[in-house]
Chain A
Amino acid sequence: MTLESELTLEPYQGPAAEERTAAGPRPSRQPSRGHRHWPISVASVILFIAIWQLSGSLGWVDPLLLPPPSEVFRTATELALSGYRQTPLWQHFLISVARALSAFAAAIAIGIPLGLFMGILPMLNAVLDPFVQFLRPLPKIALIPLVVVWFGIGETSKFFLIFISSFLSIVVGAAASVTGVSQGRIRAVQTLGASRGQIFLYVVLPNALPELFTTVRLSVGIGWTSLIAAEMVAANSGLGWMVINAGTYLRTDVVLLGILLLGLTGYLFDWVLTRLQRRFAPWAGKDA
Chain B
Amino acid sequence: MSREPRIRLDRVGKWFAAPTVAGKRTDALSDVSFELAPGEFVCLLGPSGCGKSTILNLIAGFEQASTGRVLLDGDPIREPGPDRGMVFQQPMLLPWLSVRENVTLGPRLAGQTPARYLPEAERHLRLVGLHDFADHAPWQLSGGMRQRAALARAWLPNPEILLMDEPFGALDAQTRLSMQELLHDIWRDTGTTILFVTHDVDEALFLADRVLLMSARPAGIRAEIIVPFGRPRDPEELVADTDYGRIKRDILHCVREEAARSLALDPA
Contact = CB atoms under 8 A, between A and B. Distances in A.
20 contacts: A184-B92, A185-B92, A187-B60, A188-B93, A189-B105, A189-B109, A191-B80, A191-B84, A192-B105, A193-B110, A198-B109, A202-B94, A202-B109, A283-B137, A286-B95, A286-B139, A287-B139, A288-B95, A288-B137, A288-B141
Interface string B96-115: 10000000011001100000
Given A193-B106, A195-B109, A206-B96, 14 more contacts: A184-B90, A185-B92, A187-B62, A188-B88, A188-B92, A188-B94, A189-B109, A191-B159, A193-B109, A283-B139, A286-B139, A288-B93, A288-B137, A288-B146
A203 interface: yes
A194 interface: yes
B157 A184 contact: no
Interface in B110-168: 110, 137-139, 141, 146, 153-154, 157, 159, 163
A228 B91 CA distance: 50
B86 interface: yes
Given A191-B85, A202-B105, A288 B80 contact: no
A253 to B, nearest CB: 50
A206 B138 CA distance: 15
Interface in A173-195: 184-185, 187-195
Contacts of B139: 283, 286-288
Interface of A: 184-185, 187-195, 198, 202-203, 206-207, 209, 281-283, 286-288
Contacts of B94: 185, 188-189, 202-203, 206, 288
Contacts of A281: 96
Contacts of A192: 82, 85, 105-106, 109, 153, 157
B147 to A, nearest CB: 11
A95 B133 CA distance: 49
A277 to B, nearest CB: 13
Contacts of B191: none
A209 B94 CA distance: 13
A282 B93 CA distance: 15
Nearest to B90: A184
A283 B97 CA distance: 9
B95 A283 contact: yes
A94 B80 CA distance: 55
A213 to B, nearest CB: 13
Nearest to A192: B106
Contact of A188 (B86, B96, B146, B159): B86
B81 interface: yes
**Of A184, A187, A188, A209, most B-chain CB atoms within 10 Å:** A188
Interface in B4-61: 60
Contacts of B62: 187, 190
A198 B86 CA distance: 18
A188 B147 CA distance: 13
Nearest to A198: B109
Given A187-B80, A198-B109, A193 B157 contact: yes
Nearest to B57: A187
A194 B109 contact: yes
B165 to A, nearest CB: 11
Contacts of B105: 189, 192, 202
A191 B96 contact: no
B153 to A, nearest CB: 7
Contacts of A187: 60, 62, 80, 86, 88, 92
B127 to A, nearest CB: 19
Contacts of B109: 189, 192-195, 198, 202
Nearest to A191: B86
Contacts of A283: 95-96, 137, 139
Nearest to B149: A288
Contacts of B91: 288
Contacts of B88: 184, 187-188
Most buried by A among B80, B85, B91, B138: B80
Nearest to B84: A191
Contacts of A185: 92, 94
Contacts of B137: 282-283, 286, 288
Contacts of A198: 109
A194 B92 CA distance: 15
Q: Which 8 A-B pairs have the closest CB atoms?
A: A193-B82, A288-B138, A283-B95, A190-B80, A206-B96, A188-B92, A286-B139, A288-B93
A233 B154 CA distance: 61
